[in-house]
Amino acid sequence: MEFVASVIAWLADPAHWQGRDGIPIRLLEHVELSAASLLAGAAIALPFGFLVGHSGRGAFLVLSVANVGRALPSLAILGLALPFTIQLFHVLEFWPAFVALTVLAIPPILTNTWAGIRAVERDLVETSRGMGMSATQVLWRVEIPVALPVILGGLRTAAVQVVATATLGAYVAGGGFGRYVIDGIARNQLDRIFAGALLVAALSIATELAFAFLQRRLVSRGLRAATERTVPRTAT
Amino acid sequence: MPVEFRHVTKRYAGDLDAPAAVEDLSLTVPAGQTCVLVGPSGCGKTTTLKMVNRLVEPTSGQILIDGVDVARHDPVKLRRGIGYVIQQIGLFPHLTIGGNVAVVPELLGWHAARCRERADELLALVGLDPATYRARYPHELSGGERQRVGVARALAADPPVMLMDEPFGAVDPVVRERLQNEFLRLQADLAKTVLFVTHDIDEAIKLGDRVAVMDVGGRLAQYATPSELLTSPTSEFVARFVGADRGLKRLSLRRVGELPLAMPPVARVGDEAGPARARTLADPFPYLLLLDGLGRPVGWLDRDRIPTEGLLEERLAVPMSPLLEPETTLRDALSMLLAAEVQAGLVVDPRGAMVGMVTADQIGATLRAEGGRTAEGRRPAAAGGTR
Ligand SMILES: Nc1ncnc2c1ncn2[C@@H]1O[C@H](COP(=O)(O)OP(=O)(O)OP(=O)(O)O)[C@@H](O)[C@H]1O
Ligand SMILES: [Mg+2]
């Protein structure tokens, strides 16, 4: 009980809400790092997934990337990224963690995008072509919108993983909530470690919720309800 | 626009020893007519259709639309000018019904407002109230309604040529019969050049101006009008495919609407019972037909059970003869009468209003009269179209 109270006290302490090491700045750093990595991962994995899914060729590539990605521990990637980023940017902080998290984000986005597009019924694709859609139109007007729930699912998994793992960035002098955990260990401050972990967990849940909201907004109602036949509504 | 096949062959494997999916097919579908391709599963019907819009490229031979080889068109542009309906319908699940119907107009770059207008127009054309349906999604529709949307979508850009691959294959017989009748009404107005695939010979006879019977291996066994097919099949295969009940099938060549329709004594709900009773007693037909305010049949009253005074009420009437449409074939009408164990069927217009009455005796008489005669000239298109 005493411990819980001390964590709450730590979080409530106004001193921890301001300055270079304050929660708002650490939140900003954490979100910045996670968002940048997710976007970079998406920028690589989405087009690749679209291409492989649409053409039906190169599936083994997707599967190998996914398997290798799952097998590599994030910490190892971080270690591997370290020498390169030091050479490239001459600083630690952001870049090694960014590279490691981008690599982490790619497999779930890639596999879901590929699988989602593969799962679009071939009849639907064939009618689309039969109606006079070009290959790009089939992709953008049919395959991607129909696969969207699955694609967003991949982004969601990646985002949550990235947010949780971004904690590691603190190992290589990066910012974010990981700082509290790493510094707490160094200074042997249990309340700081625990508060840091709590903040990471809260941010993961917030990410999850944000994606659930996005999914609701972006996915067509026709797809969301596709499994449960709804009662026909009267005209509006 | 006429569609012409010239010595078209398709082998999927590509090598010459592979069995052909379609073998040296030559036939012409005259402009504005319906050609039904019929044959056993795997005989190359779908392949034939897909070669027209170049979803499949022929191994050899040519297909001409309006005299121009389809191979000379850009496939994407070509397809936008050809309506395409398949059995699985392939409605876009993420688009509303209105959005589905407007796909081709959108691809053609029409303005949004015009696309919407056109979608409404077409939904109405296939019998779906636009206000009710346009904002729904495909999963909120029944199978028959989806089929209609599929047809509406294919018609959206008013293509002169339509390809329909078992478009009514996935619905129950009653809905199928209604969709067929709708197809005939539409086609009478629109006069598209239609290639229609089915493996139901009755559907082929009912809908086709001409029927192409195909055999496995993609060979054309006979290409003829439905009545020729029934009266003089050119091979054992065709005779067997058409079936032993050719005489009965000939009833499929005639429509209920072509018969002189009788009218039983009728009265409306809310009419005075007395005069209606007097009229019915004076009529040779022993029943009074009760109609609702819109002229739709409600049910029958035995003439002895009509009250002598007061108003006619709906609850007095007993339902109901089968409802037929003018496009219903005599064969379907007969089977409906037999199934319902009644003597008379009521013919109603698309709104459900009473048009007239058909009796089993009448159909029997037609069958006897048809005996030797062929039913040529049943439609203007069939009468005029020699090629
Ligand atoms: N994409 C393809 N690759 C290889 N062979 C094919 C392909 N499509 C069809 N075939 C073969 O070509 C033949 C004709 O097929 P098609 O689909 O045209 O038949 P169908 O008459 O439409 O049959 P059904 O009534 O079952 O739909 C069949 O033997 C089929 O196995
Ligand atoms: Mg087929």
Nearest Cβ partner for B140 among A128, A130, A232: A232
Task: Based on the fold, state whether residues B350 and B210 are members of the same structural domain.
Answer: no
Residues B236 and B332 in one domain: no
Please give, rounded to a whole number of angstroms, the shortest distance from the CA of B33 to a CA of chain A: 21
CB atoms within 10 A of CB B220: 21
Q: What is the CATH number of the domain that holds B314?
A: 3.10.580.10
* Residue written as token pair 């001459």: A90
Residues B234 and B129 in one domain: yes
SS (H, E, C) B42-60: CCCHHHHHHHHCCCCCCCE
Domains of chain A are 23-235 (1.10.3720.10)
What gap in Å lies between CA B130 and CA B121, rounded to an integer?
8
Residue A224 has a pLDDT of 77
B211 and B323 in a single domain? The answer is: no
Whole-angstrom distance, CA of residue A116 vs CA of residue A62 = 13
B137 with A221: Cβ contact below 8 A: yes
Q: Which one-letter DSSP state was computed for residue B135?
A: T
**pLDDT attached to residue A87:** 67
For residue B135, the enclosing domain spans 3-245
Task: Report, in angstroms and rounded to the nearest whole number, the Rg of chain A calculated over CA atoms.
Answer: 22
* Cα B1 to ligand 2 centroid, rounded to whole Å: 24
Going from the Cα of B45 to the center of ligand 2, the distance in angstroms, rounded, reads 6
Whether residue B229 sits in one domain with residue B151: yes
Whether B383 is covered by a domain: the verdict is no
Cβ–Cβ < 8 Å for A123, B88: yes
Residue A202: which of A26, A9, A5 has the closest Cα?
Answer: A26
Mean pLDDT by 10 residues, chain A (236 residues): 84 85 89 94 95 87 82 75 67 75 91 93 92 94 94 94 87 80 87 90 94 91 61 37
Q: Is residue B171 located within the same domain as residue B235?
A: yes
Q: Do B324 and B204 fall into the same domain? A: no
Residue A222 with chain B: CB contacts under 8 Å:
92-96, 137-139
> CA-CA distance, B213 to B220, in Å (whole number)?
6
**Chain A residues in contact with B107 (beta carbon < 8 A):** 131-133, 137
Both B48 and B166 in one domain: the answer is yes
**Spacing of C-alpha A89 from chain mean position:** 24
Q: Partners of B10 in the beta sheet?
A: B22
> Minimal Cα distance from A234: which residue of B?
B132
Q: Say how many Å lie between the CA of residue B54 and the centre of ligand 2.
A: 15
Report residues of chain B scoring pLDDT below 50. 372-387
Interface residues from chain A to B (CB-CB < 8 Å): 121, 123-124, 126-134, 137, 141-142, 145-146, 148, 219-223, 225-226, 229-230, 232-236
- The type of residue at B249 is K
- What whole-number distance in Å separates Cα of residue B245 and Cα of residue B331? 11
pLDDT of residue A96: 79
In angstroms, the CA A191 to CA A188 distance is 9
Same domain, B297 and B197: no
Alpha carbon distance B198, B105 (integer Å): 28
pLDDT score, position A15: 86
- Residue B17 within any structural domain of the chain: yes
The predicted model scores a pTM of: 0.79
Per-residue pLDDT at B337: 86
B384 in a structural domain: no
Same domain, residue pair B341 and B215: no
Min CA distance, A136 vs chain B (Å)?
A: 12
pLDDT given at position B14? 64
Domain end marker among B180, B211, B245: B245
**Strands B3-10 and B60-65, sheet pairing:** antiparallel
- B382 domain residue, yes or no: no
How many domains in chain B? 2
Q: Same domain for B173 and B61?
A: yes
At A90 the pLDDT is 59
**Which contiguous run of DSSP H or E holds residue B211?**
strand B210-215
